[in-house]
Amino acid sequence: MGFLLSKSMDANFKKQQEFMLHNSRLQMERQILMQNQMRERQMAMQIAWSREFLKYFGTFFTVATLGLTVGAIKRKRPFLLAPIFPFGFIFAYQMDSAYGTLINRMRREAESIMASEHNLLDLPHGTPTFDSIEKARRAKSSLTSFLEK
């Protein structure tokens, strides 16, 4: 009798473990998908911001270039064209950021860093652990309760 009960309990325990494992896996997959969707949305917002900024900076660059060119010709002072050069670099960077391949080049560089220079990615004091977080939480909690007294 005890053997049958034990066998049944073992089978139920095994089923429960499998269910919990399956549930954990589903939860993790959902978290990964959610984090990826959030990352994609943030990237889309960043690209949209770059494109919007490019419209304003492009207008400024065009007006400034025309104004400086006209001023240099009228006054016969070619040094007035000097600001066009650095503004041109900024404009080119913004254009590359908004419509070019800057993101692809950044992704390749990031992958290279992760593959060959992984030590640069280490956090100071290492990766946080449950114990280190709990210790900091307790310290803050005890400090808060001390200050309230």
Q: pLDDT of 121-149, one tens digit each? A: 998 988 889 898 899 888 888 767 766 66
Q: pLDDT of 10-33, one tens digit each? A: 888 888 999 999 999 999 999 999
Q: By mean pLDDT, which of 14-23, 60-69, 86-95 is the weakest?
A: 14-23
Residues 6+ apart with CB under 8 A from 135: none
Give me the pLDDT at residue 5, please.
Answer: 63
Mean pLDDT of the chain: 90
- The predicted model scores a pTM of 0.68
Domain spans, the chain = 2-124
